Amino acid sequence: MTEIAHGAVVVLPGEAIVSRWWRTIDKGVLGALVLLFAVGLLLGFAASVPLAERNGLPPFHYVYRQAIFGSMAFAVMLGVSMMSPNMVRRLGVIGFFGAAAAVMLLPALGTDFGKGAVRWYSLGFASVQPSEFLKPVFIILTAWLMASGAEPGGPPGKTISFAVLVLIVAFLALQPDFGQAMLTVVAWSAVYFVAGAPIAILTGVVAAVGAVGVISYNNSEHFARRIDGFLSPEVDPRTQMGYAIDAIREGGFFGVGVNEGKVKWILPDAHTDFIIAVAAEEYGLIMVLFIVCLFGFIAARCLMRLCSERDTFIRLAGTGLTVLLASQAFINLGVAVRLLPAKGMTLPFVSYGGSSLIAMGALTGMLLCFTRTRPQAEIGDHLLSNGYR
């Protein structure tokens, strides 16, 4: 049997997909993702029991649902990670048009579940938030456009992607969902920067975001109330932010003990937006640092592996997805400690939520696919062009 080696990669003709996947996957990132999900289940046992009691459901109703959604997310993640980057690109571009259509139809067919923002489709037994699925596939589309635009005679990929960005952000802001809109802009900017965008253009994007923020502040009472609350020197102890800060402070270094926390009985979103407050109160700073280190490890590891990637599309898409994952985690954690204005944003793989978990499964599956060990240089280019990817 002929073996062709380049670096640590050995290409074995006829090798089984699962065997090749296991040899080339980043096992460190995969392990960190498993740990994140395990932490989410652990915190779900604490945070979701009060919610189930308030809704007259069995104590571990939401824990079971999180386990089911998490299993689905991991199945999606593993399945996507076994695909070739070409297949991920094709499915991502097709998925973008489906997710974008779903977001655009929300005003007519969606529901707000009494929260004042039309972000979901109600399926009766569950709900779907299409913006969660739109973010990763938009990054795939953006990376494809910019990579194609960099080729001789290619389309104006950067211009087209910017036009699509404006359209998507406009529909997200109409929900209103300024947090998801901002997250989308941040991830797009990261891809644009890696693709070689002039600093002047990025500065213009930042200025435009600031202008939109001022307009939103003056025209949206909901947006203005959250900004005013963030800028206020005093925190109302009767607000979600006040309770979360008290819980984090009460937890100290080692926490008050398993199932001894109080904030989960007070906050309506303790199992989603403020899950880190439950972690800090019951398990202390140690648990919070553990979660932060897991996200930091995943982001750093993926970016380091992408630095040696010579395929423009893979490098751009991987960077955008990494920034998307890390930024969402940063926003959730930043809100809980009042570094950022209050914003409904889940903590990836830790917070409860079917749409968030499955969408993150797809996102991390793409990341694992793009960071798999592949041959590089001339012989690598030849192998990739012949279908090794």
pLDDT digits (tens, 9 = 90+) for 5-56: 334 455 566 677 888 889 999 999 999 999 999 999 999 888 888 888 888 8
What are the boundaries of each domain within the chain?
A: 4-375
SS3 (DSSP) at 253: coil
* pLDDT value of position 5: 35
* pLDDT value of position 376: 55
Q: How confident is the model at residue 357 (pLDDT cuts 50, 70, 90)?
A: very high
Amino acid letter, residue 51: L
Q: What is the percent of the chain with per-residue pLDDT over 70, rounded to a whole number?
A: 87
pLDDT by residue (tens digit) across 66-118? Answer: 999 999 999 999 999 999 999 999 999 999 999 999 999 988 888 877 666 78
Residue 53: both structure tokens together: 């009691």
Cα–Cα distance, 178 to 5 (Å, whole number): 48
Q: Comparing 266 with 343, which gets the higher pLDDT?
A: 266
pLDDT by residue (tens digit) across 187-240? Answer: 999 999 998 877 777 777 778 777 777 777 777 666 677 676 666 666 666 677
Q: List all residues 6 or more positions away from 97 whose beta carbon is below 8 Å from its beta carbon.
A: none
pLDDT higher than threshold 90 for residue 267: no
* pLDDT value of position 380: 45
Cα–Cα distance, 275 to 43 (Å, whole number): 7
**Beta partners for 6?**
9
pLDDT higher than threshold 50 for residue 388: no
Other C-beta atoms within 10 Å of 141: how many?
Answer: 25
From the number of C-beta atoms within 10 Å of its C-beta (0-12, 13-18, 19+), residue 306 rates as: buried
Cα–Cα distance, 363 to 325 (Å, whole number): 8
**Mean pLDDT, rounded, for 245-256:** 88
Q: Are 29 and 368 in contact (CB under 8 A)?
A: yes
**Which pTM value belongs to this model?**
0.88
Closest C-alpha among 21, 30, 25 to residue 298: 30
Quote the mean pLDDT of the chain: 84
Residue 229: both structure tokens together: 């609350």
SS3 (DSSP) at 226: helix
* pLDDT value of position 114: 66
SS3 (DSSP) at 121: strand
